[in-house]
Amino acid sequence: MDAAEEARLVQAARNGDMTAFGRLVDANQPAVRAFLRRFVGSYADADDLAQEAFARTWEVLERFDGSSRLRTFICGVAFQYWRRARRADSRRMARDDAYAQLEDQETAGDARMAQKLALRRAMDELPDDQRAALALCLGQDFTHAEASEILKLPLGTVKSHVTRGRARLQAALGAPAEAG
């Protein structure tokens, strides 16, 4: 969807057109869900969070000023929603740890699954902002500038988070560090 079409649909949605908003959701849903799945690590939690983010975006659509792509705005809404809701994170972590232990037992011979689990654990060890920056920039191909806007962090901080986060993941996974 080009910028003109997005702007037209945003205006129609602001005027109460649910069909226009549905088209915006359809166009942006893959990027938002992919970011959230990489960031929170649980498909079910990410999908729930995405649904909440789209519902909240409908409520605050008048705040979207058009200076960025709508997906950037929606990811920002989702990230802020997650921050406010993370008190429930301890329950999710306990559930995910139990599932990972069960999955470890069931897939002991599957090297690819073991690698995915190791990556998930390494991502879970990163600070929240660093993990979010990696999920956006490396996992979902957002630009550093878009990630900066979503996370409400300075551009240099996002770049630093990506560089340091990548190095920490490489060290945790035993991969050779890339030459910078």
pLDDT mean by block of 10 residues, the chain; 180 residues: 92 95 95 90 88 94 91 92 74 70 59 75 86 89 92 94 90 69
Tokens 């799945």 found at = 37
Tokens 């909240």 found at = 56
* pLDDT score of 18: 94
Domain spans of the chain? 3-173
Residue 4, classified by CB atoms within 10 Å of its CB into exposed (0-12), middle (13-18) or buried (19+), is exposed
Query: How far is 12 from 64, CA to CA, in rounded Å?
Result: 13
Tokens 């659509």 found at = 61
Query: How far is 149 from 61, CA to CA, in rounded Å?
Result: 16
* pLDDT score of 12: 96
* pLDDT score of 110: 66
Closest CA to 34 of 158, 142, 120: 142
* pLDDT score of 124: 84
Largest Cα span, the chain = 56
Q: Does domain 3-173 have CATH number 1.20.140.160?
A: yes
Q: What distance lies between CA 154 and its chain's CA centroid?
A: 18
